[in-house]
Structures are given as structure tokens and as C-alpha cells.
Chain A
Amino acid sequence: MIQIKDLQYKINGKIILEDIFLELAEGEFAAIIGPNGAGKSTLVKLILGLLELKEGSIFIDGVEHYSWLKNNTIGYLPQYEEFDNAFPATALDIVLMGLAGQLPLGTHFNKNHKQKAMEALEQTGVAHLAKELIGKLSGGEFQRVLLARALVSESKYLILDEPEASLDRPSVESFFALLKELNSKGKTIITISHDLTTLSKYCSFLVCLNRRLHCHNQMELIDADVIHKTFGDSLRIIEKDY
């Protein structure tokens, strides 16, 4: 379970997040929605320990999150992964990164680790790209490699920041179907997304965020009023599939 209590976050005095109280039970498939600049990525980075928490607290499985993160990993798929296109790494190298922190300093990957990484690549449907250099992969293929990296770490939590950003429409559907399958096997998933059509199909819990939390209800409760509270006039629900 992830519990957030009385969290505030400011950058140079500007309030990014305030009065955040949230509880995410194990096994949820939660979606965080909100307009640009609502603090969605900031909230995720605070949970991951990538930003320093100054006010409030985060607990994971009942343990203060910095302590929890010392011994555990959260599978994370960032919106954009910064890397040099010419970096000499294959898809397999990137997936193995998910295991690297679990190995003692100075040890090397063995056959067993590589086998695990290959299985994760198979799970995300890109095992045939294992030996491809990452600079040669399409955006969608690379997303699946990053998902495989998140999976190989065998973390019970998976956080995704706008995974649909570099996927075309059919790929978004199959990607979320894969996430749903993982969720049904017990993985707790938190995803930031703007794709309400897809979220309403797959997610079980909704976090509407615009600096403050506006609601955290079941997905079927998404209605125009909730969306209006979160996004203001910047977004309307479009019923028709695009």
C-alpha cells in the first residue's frame, strides 16, 4: 500500500502540490489525471525518491518511503528517457538495468539474469529486438523495452508517466491490455495519462490532480463535473473514439 499524508511541495516558493492525502491499496490499477503543470510527474518523482520530500510523508507498505526504497525498487517507466541516441547499449542491456541494483557492487550479470531479461522482453512482445541498439528502436518499441526493464525488477509496484505518449492508437490499446494483465496477476500500477477513453476501460482507481487532489473514486465515476473540477475549461470529454 502507498500512503501519502499531508504532502506539500514547492519549487522556488511556488506551490506545486498541496494538501495531498492519498491511499493506494495493493492490486489497484490507478490513474492520475490532470492538466499540464498539475504536479502529476512531481508527485510520481516524490514517490520514487527522485525529488526530496520536504513537507508531509509517504509510506510504502507501512515503511517511510526513503527507507523502503533502500531495499526495494519501484518499476518506473518515465515519460521520456533521456539518453544519447548513439549510446552503445542494446535492448537487453537496458532491461538488465532493472536487475543491476539487486546485484552486489562489482559483480557481473550471469546467464540467469540474461534469461530473466529475455523473459521480460518476451512478455512485452519485443524479445526479437534484444540485440538491437536502442538508438535504432522506434518510440513504441523502446517503450516496451522500458516496460520490460520495469517488469524484470519484479517490483510489486509499477509507475508509468504517460506511457501512451510515444505510441500510436492500436499500440496504446495493446499496451494497456498488457498492463491490465499484469495488474490481474497482482501488480499495483499507477499511471499518469491524458487518455481518458483508455483509462475508463482499464483502470480501477482515479486520482484527479490539479495541485490538490480533487477526487479518488472508481473509474465509472468519471463525469463532466469531476473533469471540470480538475481541468477547468481546458478539457472536454470527447465521447467518440479517435
Chain B
Amino acid sequence: MFSFSFLVYAFLGALLSGISLAVFAPFVTLRRISYLGEALSHIAFAGIALAILAGLNLTVTTLIFVMLIALGITLLAKKHNIQESNTITIFLSLSMALGIILISLSKNYSFDLASYLFGNVLLITRNEIIALAVLSVLNIAFVCFFYKELFYLTYNPVMAKVYRIKTDLVNLIFMLLLAANIVINVKSAGIILVTAQLILPAVIAFNLVHRLSKAIVISVLVAVFSAFIGFYFSFLLNLPTGACIVVFEAILYFLSLLFSV
């Protein structure tokens, strides 16, 4: 099965994509900002369009663009006491509109919307695998190191402030890392898989355990297991890998309801 190096890359891509996103998934789910993942992946659309029009490096331009928007969302919500959901919607609309304008200006380019939505893990490069591996390590280190701050930030940010828990810096790093994860993942995994990986492993985990630390571990295990099974069936039946992983995770979710604690 792994006789072709591009297949090894594809499998590693699916695996690392799952790990990197699943580490954050419990926090994203508990903070009820799962739409943020989808919003940032759509915001990436404007970054992609900008890179195409200006002839810049696609990944680097999109990464900088999305991280700046994530910074904008965090600062605007904090400075002007606006709900994060509203600032996300404002930036999402603006970015999509900008993306469409930029794509329409770039007349020589036909944008492949299907690959943007569903990704293509088979086209993943060695550099992208390295980026995903680095991100996975960074995510795990960040969550382990700032677990206490992340826990209380997720529980209640206002009371965290009353008890002088330094959540501002941690929230900023969280948002920037999340943005980086989405940009790196969206090309290979596509928006739909990125969104799914930010929700499904966590909700499956919370159906099985009531401790956040355990939920993070189970979320990662679910993502790893789904990558194996999804990749296997995608290879066996010649189906899109991302879609197979999402379908398998959805099945796991319904099964987990039967064992819900």
C-alpha cells in the first residue's frame, strides 16, 4: 500500500492533519467557536486570491493574511467589547468579498473551488508534511504548557480575568496557532475536513469522558484512527481521502452516542 512515496506523504498528511487539529478541537468545541475554523478557512480564500493576483507564495501569503485577520478578530472583540462571533462574521464577509473581487481581477486564473473545498491530500508536498509535523508538535507543547490557562479561559474568560489568570496572551497564541493550522491544513484537507476535524473528534471524546485532559487524548486518538481507516478505504475504493475520513468520524460519532457517559 505504501510502495509509492506520494502515498506515504498522503498518509502522513492525513495523519498529521488530524493530530494538529484534534489537539485544539476540545477547546474549540467547548468555547463554541467551531464556526471559527470554518470562517478562518473561508478567510484563507482572500489570502489565496491575493497571492494569486500578486504572484506571491501561496502558503506564506495566506498564512500571514489569516493570522492578521485572527489577530484583528481577537483585538476588536477585546477592545470594543464585541462578541467574537460578530467580529468573526464581519471579517468572514469582508474576506470572502475581497477574495471574489481579487479572483475576478485575476482574469487568467481559473480557481479550482472543488480542491479548495475538499482539498487533495495526494498532492501534499514534503515541505507541507514538515510544516504539519512542526505544527502538531507546537500545538501539543502549547496545550501541555498552558493547560491551566486554556482550561479557565475556556470555562469563563470574565472570571479568569477576576482571578488574574493571564488569558490574553494565551488566547492570542491560541488564535494565531489555530489560524496557522487552518491555512496549512486547508490546502491538503480542504475546508470540509478542517471543519470536521475541529469538531468531530472532540464531540466523540466528550461523549466518552468528562475530563478535558482525557478528552484531548481521545480526540487525538480518534483523529489518528480515522486517518488510518479513512485512508485505507479511500485507497481500497478509490474515493477522496478527506471525505472518507469525515464519513468515518461521523460514524464514530453516532456510535459514541451509544456509549455516552
Contact = CB atoms under 8 A, between A and B. Distances in A.
B163 A100 contact: yes
Nearest to A153: B163
Interface stretch (A21-29, A87-95, A168-176): A87-95
Contacts of A105: 146, 149, 166, 169-170
B114 interface: no
A109 B148 contact: yes
Given A101-B165, A133-B210, A106 B145 contact: yes
Interface stretch (B56-64, B65-73, B151-159, B224-232): B151-159
A98 B164 CA distance: 9
B155 A100 contact: no
Contact of B206 (A48, A74, A82, A86): A86
A89 B155 contact: yes
A98 B163 contact: yes
A83 B156 contact: yes
A97 B160 contact: yes
B212 to A, nearest CB: 5
B151 A50 contact: no
Contacts of A94: 155
B152 A97 contact: yes
A35 interface: no
Contacts of A86: 206
A166 to B, nearest CB: 16
Nearest to A133: B210
Report, nearest first, the 8 A-B pairs whose CB atoms are least far apart: A101-B164, A101-B163, A106-B145, A101-B165, A100-B165, A88-B210, A88-B212, A76-B162
Given A50-B161, A97-B159, A149-B163, 16 more contacts: A69-B164, A73-B162, A83-B155, A84-B30, A84-B32, A100-B160, A101-B163, A101-B166, A103-B148, A105-B149, A106-B146, A106-B148, A107-B148, A108-B147, A108-B148, A109-B148
Nearest to B146: A106
Interface in B181-206: 206
Nearest to A51: B81
Contacts of A93: 151
Contact of B211 (A70, A78, A88, A106): A88
Nearest to A109: B148
B234 to A, nearest CB: 33
B30 A87 contact: yes
B152 A87 contact: no
Interface in A39-70: 48-50, 69-70
Given A87-B30, A93-B151, A78 B159 contact: yes
Interface string A101-119: 1110111110000000000
B215 interface: yes
Contacts, number: 74
Bin the interface of chain B by size: 20 to 34
A241 interface: no
A81 interface: yes
Contacts of A74: 162
A97 B163 contact: yes
Given A69-B164, A88-B212, A98-B163, A82 B158 contact: yes
A69 B212 CA distance: 30
A107 to B, nearest CB: 7
A133 B215 CA distance: 15
B164 A73 contact: yes
B176 to A, nearest CB: 16
A87 B210 CA distance: 8
A108 B144 CA distance: 10
A50 B164 contact: no
Contacts of B210: 88, 133
Contacts of B156: 81-83
A83 B30 CA distance: 10
Interface in B99-144: none
A88 B166 CA distance: 21
Nearest to A82: B156
Nearest to B169: A105
Contact of A81 (B154, B159, B166): B159
Interface string B43-83: 00000000000000000000000000000000000000000
Contacts of A101: 160, 163-166
B162 A100 contact: no
A147 to B, nearest CB: 13
Contacts of B206: 86, 88
Contacts of A81: 156, 159
Interface in A131-182: 133, 149, 153
Contacts of B148: 100, 103, 106-109
